[in-house]
Every structure is written in C-alpha cells, then in structure tokens.
Structure 1
Amino acid sequence: MRLKEWTMEEQEPLIHFMTKNEWPYHVQSHPGRELIERTIEEGGYESDDVKTFWIENDEEQKVGMVQLYDLQDDIPVFDLRIAEQWRGLGYGKIALHLLTKFIFDLPTKKIRLEGHTRQDNVPMRKTFESVGFVKEAHFRDAWYMPKEDAYYDAVTYGITREDFLEEKTTPVSWNDEHEEFDYKKYWNFPSQFETSRLLVRIPEEQDTEKVYEAIKRSVAFLKPYMTWAQKKPTHENVQENIRRAIARFMNREELRFHLFDKQSNEFIGCLGLQHIDWTIPKFEIGYWIDERYSGQGYMTEAVHSMTLFAFEDLGANRLEIRCDRDNIRSRAIAEKNNFELEGILKQDSRKASTGQLRDTCVYAKISSIN
C-alpha cells in the first residue's frame, strides 16, 4: 500500500471520488461537482500549504484520499477519507501511519500532526488510536451539520514527533493545575460580549463564508503585515482555520473572537488574545479588519473592550500589542487605547510580504492591582 501524490491532471478522478461516495461525518456529506471544481481552482487540493494524496492498495486501486493542510506551519492538519466499498478493511490505519511517517520525515521537522472528527465517528477514532494518536480535546456542540441543522460533539487527536519516532504514546495529563497559582480559576469566562456597535464572540463554522469574503476582499490590504495573507484564501482553508481556532479557544490556548456589526450582522474583522501565559496571566492582543471597515473606529472600540475583558474577566496582569514600526494604523489603535510604547525591537523579524528586516514596536498595559 502507498500514498501517491495527486496531480492537477487527475481532476476528474478526484471529482468522481468525492461526489460518488457518501461522507456521513463530514460537514458536506454529499459534495457536488461545482463545489469540488471551485475548491480545486482555489488551491484547496494543491498549493504551497496543501497537498493531496491518493491511497492505493497493492493492486494500485484507489481506495481513499488524504489531504494535508497548513504544511508551512509546524503543526499540519489532515483529512482522511476511505471510499465506501473499502471501509472496514484496515486501509485507514495503514494510510494514517504512512501519512504520519511522511510528515515526520519532512526536512522542516514538523512538531506534531493533528486531526479532528465527530465524537460519534467511532471508526475514525479507533484509527487514530491504533496509530498512536492521543485524544487531546472534546468540544461539546462544536461540529455543525448544515443538512441536519444539528450540532455534534467534536474531538481532537494529536501525535507528537517524539512519540512517533520513539514508538510510544504519552497520554494527556488533565491534572495540570499549577501547584502555587491556580490560573484555571480564570478559565470560566463568557465566550461573547458587546461594545456599543459590535458583537464580539467565539468563531463558529457558519462564519466561514463571511470570513472568506472579507479576506478575499482585503488580502492586498493585509498582505504587508500578515504572514497568512500572502496568498489568496480558499473556503476549505478558512473553514479549517476556524475549526482550529474553536479548538484552541476551548483549550484556552488562544482566544480568537469574531467581530460583527450589531445592526447589520456584517463581519467586521478578527480580534484575539494570543501568546498566552496563564501563570502571570499575560496576553498579546492581535487583530485584523475587513478593509471596507478600516478607519471607522471599529477596531479601536473592540480593543478597548478586549482590554477591559482581559483585566476584569481573565485577571490579566499584562497586555501587549506588538506591530511593525511602519504599521501606522495598528500603532494608532494601541496609542488611542493608552498602551505605553515600551520599546522598539530593531530588526526583530521580517516583513511578511517582502522578507525585509523590520522593527517591532512593543506596546503594553499593566494591571493597577498587583
């Protein structure tokens, strides 16, 4: 059995495979030809960040397909599918092992590989476990099925480079409270709040289309300062990114919020707390906005409320905003919210769009209660 890389010349076999099989645990259980063609055109099956493989058995029959996403990141994500007639024969386990080996053999030395599925997808969960993946998260009512208009629980499995190479399985320790500082006392907080004009809430999969359109419209506007805006978005990449954001939010690893105009329900932009250290606690505020709404004070308003949220609900002792020295708009948002410029890190990183060395401004605000 082997993984054989899919090529653009194989569009018709791919369309046939995706449309002639039923995918009961996927959001699109019966994808149509038009959706697959659009996804191919937008790079959803082949790009710098996405790679697709056929799963072929020893008779060179195509028994399945697997897609790898976020290949430029340290932590890729995958989607594994076995055709209906070949399910239950152990092909999924072999394919996942081959895929995992492929990832950890890459010269870029990926840190881990992860995958997500519905909680009731027992065959896929057994496949994860048979290869050494560990269940790392369980999200209640996080997997929306449009056809049924119903939510299911979702689970995330992962395997680390170390575990795979050493052929071991390290279970997650759920008893990881800090002995001296109980930072989890701050973990019970609302997943949405409001400003005078905005609804600020946790991302949902149903946001995919609006977020996709906003990025597509604004990609040139965002490109100079956003690493992820260097290429055109695809529906699948945006959807998977939102899924991972939900998972990271539930794990309290990163708190991303989507911004919506309360009157029109239009998507405005994205705001979040990242690089979190709960033992302080401290956070870095990151944000981007749909170009159509830039210059109207929306992000200044959102950052003001996020600052209050971090200090009052999360017990923050320190908040940071870091941005390119030349990013005048971002610097203005920090300054309007009374963040103090603590310093400029010279030649701290490279510009997202050109690769040139850039300076980073570090703005901060600390709690008045120590």
Structure 2
Amino acid sequence: MMIRKYLLVAAISILHLGAISASAGVYKYQDENGKWHFTDQPPKNKANTAVTATTTTSNVKADLKDKLHQAFKPASKIDEASLSVVTVVTTAGSGSGFFVTSDGYIITNRHVVRPTTSSQAKDTKAQLAEWKQRLDNYKLELEDDEERLQEMKLTIDEDRDYMESSQASETHKSQYQRYVKRYKKNKDIHEANVKKYRKQEKEYKKEKSEFGFSSSLSNFSRKFTITLKDGKKLKAKLVKISKDHDLALLKLDNYTTPYLTLSEQRYPKQGTKVFAIGSPFGITDALTTGIVTKSSKKALFTDAQILPGNSGGPLVNADGEVLGVNTAVLSAAQNMDGLGVAVYASHIRSEFARNLGGKL
C-alpha cells in the first residue's frame, strides 16, 4: 500500500509539473572572486545579475508541410495537391484521405473507417451467404447418399448367407459380387465427398470468423494509421462520421499539415478535367485523370479511374481544388460501367462545420 501511495503522489507531482509554464529564468551572477555562476534561483544581494529566458519544453508543432515541400519540391498544382493526400489503414484494409486544414483535420470515406458499411463488405456478406447455401445443399446430398449406402449395405447383409450357400447359382453370386463392388466404390466416393465437405466447411467457418472479427474491430476503432506521401506513418483519431453521406472526419494532432482547398463550384461542368489521387491496392500516391461526365444532385460522376483503395481520396480540378471525395465505381449492372462516383465537396462543409469551426 505504501508503494502504491508513493507512486500516486509521484504521479500527481508529475502532473503538477506538467502544468507549470514552460518558460523559466536562468540567473547569471559574479561572485566576489569574479567567477560567473548560473542558477534557476534568484541570488540574494547580487547586484551584478543577468537573467536569461529559456524554454524547457516546446509547444511548437512539427511542420509536415515544410518537410514534404522540401522532400518533393512540387512543380505543379497537382504535385502540390498530392502532398495533402494520405493512406488510411484500418483493421479490414485501407483507403485514402486528405488534409483540409493546416492543423491536421483529414477527410475520408465513412466506409473506409467503418468497412461494414461498404459495398465490398456487403459483397463479402453475400458471398459468405452463397457459400453457406452451397454447403447446406452439399450436406443434403451427402445425407441422401448415406441413406442409399445404408440400404445397399442392408441388402448385402441380408443376401450374404444365401450367396455363401450351395443353393445360390453362379449367376446370382456374380451379380452379388458386382453389387458389393459397386457398394464399396460408392462408399469410397461418399467418404471422399464427406472429407471435401468438412474441409470446405472449415474454410467457410474460418473466413466467416475472420470477417466477423475484423468487422467487429473496425466498428469500434477510434484511431487509424495514416501514411504520408513520404511513407511516414502517424496516428489519427476519429472525430465524426456522417450519417447522411459517405464521409468521415479524422484528426492528426500536434502537426502543421499541408491541406487542400475546397472548390466553391457547387456543380462542376461536364468536361471539366479532374484528377483522382489516392492509394489503390495499397499503392500510395497514385494519380488517374479524366473528366466530369455528369453532375447530378446526389453525386459527381467521372471517367477518371477509381480503384479499390482510392476511396476517401480527393477528386481535384486543374487548380488542385477539391471537387469531391472519391467513393465508388459503378458497375455494368447500373448501365454506367467504369464511371467513378464522388461525394460533393460542399457536403464536407455542411457535415463538419461545427467540428472545423469555419476553417474551410
């Protein structure tokens, strides 16, 4: 108990020390022999004293913007825009994001930080359901085969004594032996199919368990690893998830960051050249180009290639301004095969205005 009490007192003392101002005075004075002394306590009755201000701790934020500029020396507005794009890593995979303020606020997709809401997660659930249905059908077939084998075995057992007697003709014995061989062959096939079923069932349960585990983790994750353009990995915290749009807000603390400006254009014109920046398939800092193919009330459509991992990255114009947040690729079933979908940049303002405090 004494040890715990001591540790508690020490911890409280440390907290108190942490609350003290970071600036302190260093006193410099000469003694009667002309020797200079340095102390953090003001000397008594010393006229010849100088005070030097020092800083024991620093509240200066590390400047990622300057560091990235020095490393890559962007030669265009698109080069400049790429400095603000990050990879967002989750327990279930990865996506993209980008800084929207100089103090580390990051925009990404809701389905990046909560993968169970993504179309990919829904596809996985559907695939698992189909797999389960196939296993159930397979099991029913095996049960039918088992019943047929039992009937064959019963017939063999019932006829065995007669076939081994002298009363059975050679023809009957020959037919009986063929029947026994067919039974053994069917039994071997059945046993092989049972092993195959059990193997597939085991694989299914493993995949289902892993999917459920990763989904559970991702649904409660509050911190995410982000990777900068230079490969540096940092931790960002979740601030807010949008209920109405595929958007989420993260925050990287204690850094000055590069950031992208949101375009004031509500509905970009068709034919506007656009650039999608992100991390497809885990490849950081990838760029694809295209045009705005359609600006509907609900979403922005583009033929710029948007691949898995691009989700959450910015769709920018030639000036590097954000027109939208890349979120999905339409399929042939939707009669717009290959077109990418982006959430309008204006939704970032409406969704996170309170969190960002008018910084956009």
Length-normalised TM-score, structure 2:
0.20
Q: Which has the higher contact order (CA 8 A, sep 6+)?
A: 2
Looking at secondary structure, tell me which structure has more strand per residue.
1
Greater share of helix: 2
